[in-house]
């Protein structure tokens, strides 16, 4: 959806940046644009992720805008252009932020950029701007939204859902393969074998859905139950507690950041020589 893709794109880029950081530090110094993993990330964003968003916006303008627009005529051209651009630029930003944090020794902050981006994305889907985010998501057409019907089961067989399934078959496995491969190779030390890609994939999914989606749903429930005054305070406490290095986030990050402090000497920026 238009409102969430900016966070989704950031999460994708940040996940790729953190996954590639450890292995990148072992290679000869190079500029960002010479980083083949950065190039692969941009190609994924530009050739897979961004087109999927434009496809959904063209085919289902009501659903893709969370029913803020009903038809194509409700969308100004500049908004569509900005939407397409940010689907790439925000991913680039996420990659650079995650890599920079890792290079400067902030390994947990680098890793947590990905689940933090997914948390923001899922929160908008669950709560939105008026507490009806989940209802907007499960309303496949403007007519369904205006009628007030809430039928998640019917949505699963809608044209929107079928399109999402088809896109997911391409987008999700490719993204998981990229990130799990980079993490696995980066975690290889000496002659020790790299962690299994299946294990890394499982941990990535746990970070996305366990940490990101789970926290987003809990935050939406707190806001709904506690209201606009106590709700935001409770949500702030929840997010800080969950994402604290000694909280659930820190626990899930351990397999990813293990040994990072001794593997390489972190340095800021790109184009600098790194001693192993």
Structural domain includes residue 270: no
In a domain, 138, yes or no: yes
N-term to C-term CA, the chain:
43
Give me 200's structure tokens.
């890394």
Task: Determine, yes or no, domain membership for 276.
Answer: no
Give pLDDT tens digits for 89-143. 999 999 999 999 999 999 999 999 999 999 999 999 999 999 999 999 999 999 9
Q: What is the pLDDT of residue 188?
A: 78
269, part of any domain:
no
Would you say residue 21 lies in a domain?
A: yes
For residue 1, what pLDDT is reported? 87
Output the CA angle 77-118-153, nearest 5 degrees: 80
Mean pLDDT of the chain: 90
Residue 271 counted as domain residue: no
In which residue are the tokens 């992720």 written? Answer: 49
DSSP string, 145-205: HHHT---HHHHTTSHHHHHHHHHHHHHHHHHHHHHHHHHHHHT--TTSPPPPHHHHHHHHH
Q: What is the maximum alpha-carbon separation in the chain?
A: 63
Q: 198: buried, middle or exposed (CB in 10 Å: 19+, 13-18, 0-12)?
A: exposed
Residue 85 lies in a domain: yes
Cβ-defined contacts of 252-256 (< 8 Å, 24+):
252/115, 252/203, 252/206, 252/207, 252/210, 252/211, 253/107, 253/108, 253/111, 253/112, 255/195, 255/200, 255/203, 256/18, 256/111, 256/183, 256/187, 256/203
272 assigned to some structural domain: no
Domain count, the chain: 1
Domain that holds residue 131: 2-263
Per-residue pLDDT of 44-88, as tens digits, reads 999 999 999 999 999 999 999 999 998 989 999 999 999 999 999
Q: Is the pLDDT of residue 30 over 50?
A: yes
């Amino acid at each position: 959806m238009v409102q969430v893709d900016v966070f989704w794109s950031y999460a994708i880029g940040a996940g790729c940046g953190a996954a590639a950081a450890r292995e990148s530090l072992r290679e000869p110094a190079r500029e960002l644009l010479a980083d083949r993993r950065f190039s692969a990330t941009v190609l994924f964003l530009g050739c897979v992720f961004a087109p999927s968003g434009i496809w959904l916006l063209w085919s289902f303008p009501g659903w893709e805008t969370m029913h803020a627009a009903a038809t194509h005529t409700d969308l100004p051209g500049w908004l569509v252009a900005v939407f397409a651009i940010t689907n790439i630029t925000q991913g680039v930003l996420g990659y650079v932020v995650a890599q920079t944090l890792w290079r400067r020794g902030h390994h947990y902050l680098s890793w947590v950029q990905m689940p933090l981006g997914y948390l923001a994305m899922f929160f908008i889907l669950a709560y939105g701007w008026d507490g009806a985010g989940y209802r907007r998501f499960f309303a496949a057409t403007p007519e369904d939204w205006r009628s007030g019907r809430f039928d998640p089961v019917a949505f699963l067989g809608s044209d929107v859902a079928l399109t999402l399934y088809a896109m997911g078959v391409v987008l999700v496995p490719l993204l998981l393969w990229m990130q799990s491969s980079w993490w696995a190779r980066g975690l290889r030390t000496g002659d020790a074998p790299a962690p299994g890609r299946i294990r890394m994939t499982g941990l990535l999914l746990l970070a996305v859905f366990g940490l990101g989606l789970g926290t987003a749903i809990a935050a939406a429930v707190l806001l709904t139950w506690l209201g606009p005054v106590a709700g935001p305070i409770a949500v702030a406490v929840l997010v800080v507690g969950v994402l604290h290095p000694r909280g659930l986030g820190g626990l899930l990050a351990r397999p990813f950041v293990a040994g990072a402090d001794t593997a390489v000497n972190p340095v800021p920026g790109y184009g600098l020589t790194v001693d192993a």
